[in-house]
Structure 1
Amino acid sequence: MLKSEPFEVTLANKQSIILPEAIAHLFLKNDHKRVKVVVTFKEQSINYHGALIPKKNGLCVMYFSNEKQKALGIFMNDYFEMQLFEDQSKYGVDMPEELDAVLMSDHEAYTIFEALTPGRQRSIIYTIKRYKSTQTRVDKAILLTENLKRGITDPKLWLKQF
């Protein structure tokens, strides 16, 4: 499995980090645009999935949300440690158990889901992951898959009842 050595970074702006060229190149040359990330600051750490975003000027950036910054207590001008790992997950993000169970129990919904673009699949996964309650995740996954089967492709309508 491809992984970087831990490296030190700081925020480039409110929600992004400029990655060291050698590290970004290591992953991009091996066609890994999605990575698993471990960020450590003051003995606290978080793990998440991220995307490497090459820019025209040769730089490579990665988004780092305000939510993640707040969880670690990171502010502008703080330096923190980051390490990247090859993302070996099927969808580029961890699949919630509830959505996986609903898709496994509904072949038609699973087939539609698998035919979607990887970005659209991740959007659906994130839509379900944002709910904390297991029961809410199940309910929303069922509603979302029923809407997919109805042909609803607009993310704004995925969780609407018709």
Structure 2
Amino acid sequence: MSIDDKKIRSTPFEVTIKGMHAIDLPESIVTPFIDAGQQRVRVIATFEGKSIEFHAALQKYQGRYRLTFGKSKQKQLGLFPSDYFQLQLFEDHSKYGVDVPEELAAVLETDTEAYKIFESFTPGKKRSIIYMIARFKNSQTRIDKALLLCENIKRGIRDHREILKQF
């Protein structure tokens, strides 16, 4: 038995979008993850031959679990709000609950002071910062923003509105 065989994963299941950007999850699908203390999952969404993979939080809302499925993900799959599509959930063992851009990882690896400060942040703040850097499409821009981030957090800047500003 490989390590992957021991990881929690759901079978693929059919869903649709509720409201603007939420997906209600069947209790039978979510229970093994919650029982194992997994609040964050990796998700594969599939529709008409297209698939995307992303990280998500299992959020409890009005007694049910759901996850956020924003407009950008809907657009990537070519979904309309009334469409049904397939999801599959996997246990998430990533360090931060999200994929870290290699540019940010490299900059933090070379700046131990900034890395220590970054590691002192809450898990949600770390993910927010990672998303801030990841949103840039150009690799050089991600490097420049990661360097700026490191300088700013070493200066004591913690406000997300200021953390990527040039001073």
* TM-score of the pair, normalised by structure 1: 0.97
Q: Which of the residues 8, 33, 44 maps onto 1:2? A: 8
Match of 1:93 in 2: 98
Match of 2:38 in 1: 32
Match of 1:140 in 2: 145
Match of 1:156 in 2: 161
Give me the whole-angstrom Cα distance separating, in 2, the residues matched to 1:49 and 1:26: 17
Note the C-alpha offset of 1:58.
Answer: 2.1
Instruction: Kindly provide the amino acid, as one letter, of the partner of residue 121 in structure 2.
Output: L
Give me the whole-angstrom Cα distance separating, in 2, the residues matched to 1:5 and 1:94: 23
Question: Superposition pairs for residues 68-147 of structure 1, below 5 Å?
Answer: 68-147=73-152
Match of 2:20 in 1: 14
Q: Which of the residues 61, 64, 71 maps onto 1:59? A: 64
Instruction: Kindly provide the amino acid, as one letter, of the partner of residue 33 in structure 2.
Output: F
Note the C-alpha offset of 1:29.
Answer: 1.2
Residues 85-105 of structure 1 deviation map (CA, whole Å, 9 limit, x = unaligned): 000100000111100111010
Instruction: Kindly provide the amino acid, as one letter, of the partner of residue 75 in structure 1.
Output: F
Note the C-alpha offset of 1:159.
Answer: 1.0
Q: Which of the residues 38, 46, 49 maps onto 1:43? A: 49
Give me the whole-angstrom Cα distance separating, in 2, the residues matched to 1:77 and 1:70: 13
Give me the whole-angstrom Cα distance separating, in 2, the residues matched to 1:139 and 1:89: 24
Note the C-alpha offset of 1:77.
Answer: 1.6
Task: Provide structure 2 residue ranges, at least 5 long, that are not aligned to the other structure.
Answer: 1-6
* TM superposition outliers: structure 1 runs of 4+ over 4 Å: none
Note the C-alpha offset of 1:19.
Answer: 0.4
CA RMSD of aligned residues (A): 0.7
* TM-score of the pair, normalised by structure 2: 0.95
Q: Percent identity among equivalent residues?
A: 55
Task: Provide structure 1 residue ranges, at least 5 long, that are not aligned to the other structure.
Answer: none
Q: How many residues align?
A: 161
SS in 1 for 2:148: helix
Instruction: Kindly provide the amino acid, as one letter, of the partner of residue 11 in structure 2.
Output: E
